[in-house]
Structure 1
Amino acid sequence: MAELLLGLDVGTTRVCALVLDPARGVRARAHRPLALRAPAPGRVEQDADAMVERAVESLREALAGARAEARDVAALGLAAQRATAIAWDAASGRPLAPAIGWQDQRTAARVAALRREGVPATTLASATRFERWLRAEGGADEVSAARAVRAAGEAGRLRLGTPDAWLGFRLGGARRSVTDPGHASCTGLYELREGDFDARALALYGIPREALPAVVATCEVVDRLDPALLGAAVPLAARAGDQQAAAFAAGTHARGEAKLTLGTSAMLDVHAGEAGEGALPSAPGAHALALWRLAPGARDALCLEGSVLTAGAALDWLARLGVAPSAEALDAAAAPSSGGAWFVPALQGLGTPAMALGARGVLGGLSLATGRGEIARAALEGVAQRCADLCEALGVGAGALGVDGGLARSGPLLQLVADYTGLVVERAAEVETTALGAALLAGLAAGVVPDVAACRALRAAPARVPPRLAEPDRRAARAAWRAVLAHCASAPTSAFDAPGRGTSPA
């Protein structure tokens, strides 16, 4: 009997596949890089076909590493980057334009105009990217692609979606286009109270409902893998956003539980209960999103999501300046104390709660005694303080904080996060938490894992990092940090706010 589970994580710059044996743990992992293109300032694009190719390569390598075959796999779960926009032809199965990355800013002017009209638009959602194709806006290369998009629409063959819908369509043999509530809530077109795309939002942006994927449960077998890809028709049993899958793997299963992903940026997701339990969750600079729908007919679990825009990227920047040989080496280079130096890692603006994108990074408190070690220490402290800002803004004030991501390998950073938040930090034992979460969700859908409690039990015990700072000292450090933030908060408002739609445009 097939018992293995496959987890696939198609991220922004990397694809990871993982083979999970519920009885023995993770048996193999495989990775492939995924390229980004920046054809002009503010534009970020990807090759949609390459996403599929790298995904298949990773799945094959992971199975080979586990000495398993596709017929041994009970289910496949897919996690993906969320707000990237893809347009494709349903008949040919081919992309009609380069995928527009979630970081892309080409619709910023349109977003600003909508916001002046009272519409809660954001460039962090897919809606204005879809709209741009349909309106045939942009330069010559964009207009050419937009013509193909419009022609497919007129012929009834147009499909628009985020990477999960595109990958599911292609991996499933071009049969169905589906998405889950977590991805749908990142389009700017989803009504969190209703659990489906919002007709008024679709009318505002001129997006035909038939072009969008059907919204299905996160855990639901709706298709099977094309057997030509791996050699068997493996059930496609789950689809989830990358942050949502990581939150599931971290055990963020009940209201108030939280996970922090430390990577290029830092993302905090806090479980906010289920849709229909009252007012939608809100916090300054945070996104109200769907986490998942664990079964057909179930209510969506919701979350608040906040971000530190520059976390690991700030450490990479300091390494390029020569503070340390690499970002990883900052731990060893850091002095025991910053000697009064401080660093605000706002190199791309301040994220939650201020969402001040005009803010800039600040390195201050310097003296003739300040050296590389003190600057390295100040950088680690600055990233940790910004993570504490996230926790305060989103109301995480008790219990444990699950942490994952590449930057979570830094022991000194995790200790500082614990100290400044006052929380016990739990570092995930599995590095590939997003792929693990996808596999667990697939196991839940296929019945290989009976319930959420069993999913939690399959997690390897995390490493616990308790706070060492006394509470009066923590409060003093946080007060000093709040004073420091005033030096770089030059832009108090921004067009970048929540992509999850609690209300529809008038």
Structure 2
Amino acid sequence: MSILAIDAGTTGVTALVVTTDGAIAARGYQEFAQHFPQPGWVEHNPEEIWQATLEATRSVLASYQGPPLTAVGITNQRETVVLWDRETLGSPRRAIVWQDRRSAEICARLKEAGHEDRVRELTGLRLDPYFSATKLAWLAENEPNTWALVESGRYAIGTVDSYLVARMTRGIWHVTDASNASRTLLFDLNTGDWSQELCDLFGVPLDALPDLVPSWGVIADTDPRMFCGLTLPIAGIAGDQQAALFGQTCFAPGEAKCTYGTGSFILTNTGTDLLRSDGLLTTAAWRSPEGELTYALEGSIFVTGAAVQWLRDGLQIVGSASETAAIASTVDDSEGVVFVPALTGLGAPHWDPHARGLIVGLTRGTTRAHLVRATLEAIAYEVRDVMETMGRDAATLRVDGGAASNDLLCQVQADQLGVNVQRPRFVESTAIGAAFLAGLGTGVWASTDELRATWQVEATFTPKSERSQIDAGYRRWLDAVERSKGWAQV
């Protein structure tokens, strides 16, 4: 038996076929365009996400040779908001992406009105442009004609998982799970349901939101006319970071993972305990079919892999992300160059939407190798920022995502944290987590213990560098971060 996993990320869609031993039998991938209509704004065309999903699925089906597929699991970029017509499934405007900063003024207004403490109490989140409801409030204020059709019931609101389920089922189902709902600022972590109080605060009609379903278990069937001729039960849904936590088999409280993607996200499973921490987010990890919520503490870093993408596409000083380890390894260190990749503001633990990217320490001797190494070091510094805020006393950190294949980054990360960094045999933990959820929901795996048995370490990186040197570099980083803050307000 095999599971189809769809991972609708920020820059592209990955489709995997995952077998019962947790191995990847086939892969497909398709990028889609990024749109930047103004500084700080980031948008995606929903139709392009859907076409990329179809293309990635066709690709994986063309290369897969094995038993029939059992189910499909979906994981997705979180917080991004999509509007679509319930009848035609067409979208009236581009999706507003999680990285988008346009609602910073709305957040500031709500903070000044004294709403942040209550919002954090209910949601575990902050008033930040990162989250969905602030983007919806912006749409209500700035695009009244579009918003009128939301209020009339013509347009549905959802995160990317909801949109994909609607497209796969020909518009019959409008659903999401707790892991995605908990990222909207509209979900009450205490009750495990949408909050009328929060909907009123942000001006979002409750009946425009998706129905809440468990993270695993059969939810709906795909329509073969819409989805590559496939009739499969959709049996797993989770936001990408929670899916990665599941894919890394971090099922016990205290187990943690870091996913290096467009941004980087560190999650620690806290079980059924709803823990809170300054500088971090409390979020739903997943909900069982029996209704039990598992929670997590999260540190959300907005730009890590996207910084490497900027080196490639913006500065054009690397040809591909895979080159960065080789280029950075040609120098022993960054020679004092520090890069703060606050290209869309700062996330955890600093939370400054007005911060902007900063490169300091340049000299006449600075080369592209120093800048590339400074970029990899910045990723490790950002993760250390979060881990120190979490106060975790652990011997290992499990890593995944595309950049986890970079041996130099993993070694720098181990040195910065002073703990072992473990990389699994497959770094696509996000998509694997979606497959695990769908397989658990259809009986392919009987329990999380069976899933845990499939997880294997491919490499372990142990700390090697001198601690005093490592800490001196980190202090320089913290100094540079302070200099980057508030820049857009200057």
TM-score by length of 1: 0.86
Matched, 1:193 2:187: no
Which residue pairs with 1:501 in the alignment?
none
Give the Cα separation in 2 of the matches to 1:339 and 1:25. Answer: 38
After superposition, the Cα gap between the structure-2 partners of 1:332 and 1:98, relative to the gap in structure 1 and judged at 3 Å, is closer
Q: Give 3-state SS (helix, strand or coil) of 2:165's partner.
A: helix
Matched, 1:245 2:243: yes
Q: Give 3-state SS (helix, strand or coil) of 1:202's partner.
A: helix
Contact 1:111/1:122 (CA < 8 Å) preserved in 2? Answer: yes
Identity %: 35
Which residue pairs with 1:499 in the alignment?
none
Contact 1:338/1:375 (CA < 8 Å) preserved in 2? Answer: no
Query: Which deviations, in whole Å up to 9, do the C-alpha atoms of 1:177-203 show, x marking residues without a partner?
Result: 111011001111011111111111012
Q: In structure 1, which of residues 58, 64, 67 is the aligned counterpart of residue 65 of structure 2? A: 67
Contact 2:129/2:353 (CA < 8 Å) preserved in 1? Answer: no
Matched, 1:419 2:415: yes
Contact 1:177/1:213 (CA < 8 Å) preserved in 2? Answer: yes
After superposition, the Cα gap between the structure-2 partners of 1:195 and 1:345, relative to the gap in structure 1 and judged at 3 Å, is same
Which residue pairs with 1:504 in the alignment?
none
Q: CA deviation at 1:317?
A: 4.5
Q: Give 3-state SS (helix, strand or coil) of 1:297's partner.
A: coil
Matched, 1:430 2:426: yes
Matched, 1:287 2:281: yes
Q: CA deviation at 1:336?
A: 5.0
Q: Give 3-state SS (helix, strand or coil) of 1:462's partner.
A: strand
Letter in 1 for 2:256: A
Q: Give 3-state SS (helix, strand or coil) of 1:170's partner.
A: helix
Matched, 1:124 2:121: no
Q: In structure 1, which of residues 310, 328, 337 is the aligned counterpart of residue 322 of structure 2? A: 328
Letter in 1 for 2:147: A
Which residue pairs with 2:30 in the alignment?
32
Q: Give 3-state SS (helix, strand or coil) of 1:329's partner.
A: helix
After superposition, the Cα gap between the structure-2 partners of 1:31 and 1:303, relative to the gap in structure 1 and judged at 3 Å, is same
Q: CA deviation at 1:8?
A: 0.4
Letter in 1 for 2:351: M
Give the Cα separation in 2 of the matches to 1:419 and 1:34. Answer: 35
Which residue pairs with 1:81 in the alignment?
77
Query: Which deviations, in whole Å up to 9, do the C-alpha atoms of 1:17-69 show, x marking residues without a partner?
Result: 11112158221111111222223333322222332232223223212211358
Letter in 2 for 1:465: F
Trace 1:132-281 onto structure 2 (pairs within 5 A). 132-133=138-139, 135=140, 137-138=141-142, 142-147=143-148, 149-150=149-150, 153-154=151-152, 156-228=153-225, 229-274=227-272, 277=273, 279-281=274-276
Contact 1:355/1:493 (CA < 8 Å) preserved in 2? Answer: no
Give the Cα separation in 2 of the matches to 1:413 and 1:240. Answer: 27
Q: CA deviation at 1:415?
A: 0.6
Contact 1:249/1:434 (CA < 8 Å) preserved in 2? Answer: yes
Give the Cα separation in 1 of the matches to 2:468 and 2:290. Answer: 45
Give the Cα separation in 1 of the matches to 2:105 and 2:317. Answer: 37
After superposition, the Cα gap between the structure-2 partners of 1:35 and 1:382, relative to the gap in structure 1 and judged at 3 Å, is closer
Contiguous gaps of at least 5 residues in structure 2: 117-126
Give the Cα separation in 1 of the matches to 2:346 and 2:100. Answer: 18
After superposition, the Cα gap between the structure-2 partners of 1:475 and 1:10, relative to the gap in structure 1 and judged at 3 Å, is same
After superposition, the Cα gap between the structure-2 partners of 1:63 and 1:371, relative to the gap in structure 1 and judged at 3 Å, is closer
Give the Cα separation in 2 of the matches to 1:222 and 1:245. Answer: 17
TM-score by length of 2: 0.88
Give the Cα separation in 1 of the matches to 2:285 and 2:479. Answer: 33
Query: Which deviations, in whole Å up to 9, do the C-alpha atoms of 1:259-307 show, x marking residues without a partner?
Result: 1112332221121222xx3x532232x22111111x2233211112213
Matched, 1:477 2:470: yes
| Greater relative contact order, per chain length (Cα 8 Å cut-off, separation 6+) | 1
Alignment: residue pair count: 474
What is the CA RMSD across the aligned residues, in angstroms? 2.7
Contact 1:361/1:488 (CA < 8 Å) preserved in 2? Answer: no
Q: In structure 2, which of residues 365, 368, 377 is the aligned counterpart of residue 381 of structure 1? A: 377
Q: Which moved more, 1:398-407 or 1:225-234?
A: 225-234
Contiguous gaps of at least 5 residues in structure 1: 496-506
Contact 1:357/1:491 (CA < 8 Å) preserved in 2? Answer: no
Give the Cα separation in 2 of the matches to 1:363 and 1:91. Answer: 49
Contact 1:341/1:375 (CA < 8 Å) preserved in 2? Answer: no
